[in-house]
C-alpha cells in the first residue's frame, strides 16, 4: 500500500513541478527571445481528455452500458 501511495505522490509531484516551472518562466525580453515551456499543456489536456474518454468507454462496455 505504501508503494502505491509513493508512486501516486511521485507522479503528482513531477507534474506539479513541471507546471510550476512552466508558470515561473520569464516574459519575453526586449530582443523577442522567449523561453520555450517544458510542457505543452494544450497537448497534455487533449491526451488526458482522450484517455478519460477511452476509460469511460471501456468501463461502459465492461458493465454492459455501451450504446
Instruction: Kindly state the average pLDDT of the residues 45-60.
Output: 89
Predicted TM-score (pTM) of this structure: 0.47
Residue 66 contacts residue 60 (beta carbons within 8 Å):
yes
pLDDT digits (tens, 9 = 90+) for 3-40: 999 999 999 999 888 888 777 776 666 666 666 666 77
* Per-residue confidence (pLDDT) for residue 29, from 0 to 100: 62
Residue 35 contacts residue 26 (beta carbons within 8 Å):
yes
The three-point CA angle 3-40-4 to 5° equals 5
Indicate the burial class of 50 (C-beta count within 10 angstroms; 0-12, 13-18, 19 or more): exposed
Q: Does residue 57 surpass a pLDDT of 80?
A: yes
Amino acid at each position: 500500500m505504501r508503494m502505491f501511495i509513493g508512486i501516486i505522490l511521485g507522479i503528482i509531484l513531477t507534474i506539479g513541478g513541471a507546471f510550476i516551472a512552466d508558470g515561473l518562466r520569464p516574459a519575453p525580453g526586449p530582443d523577442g527571445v522567449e523561453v520555450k515551456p517544458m510542457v505543452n499543456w494544450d497537448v497534455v489536456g487533449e491526451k488526458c481528455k482522450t484517455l478519460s474518454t477511452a476509460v469511460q468507454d471501456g468501463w461502459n462496455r465492461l458493465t454492459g452500458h455501451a450504446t
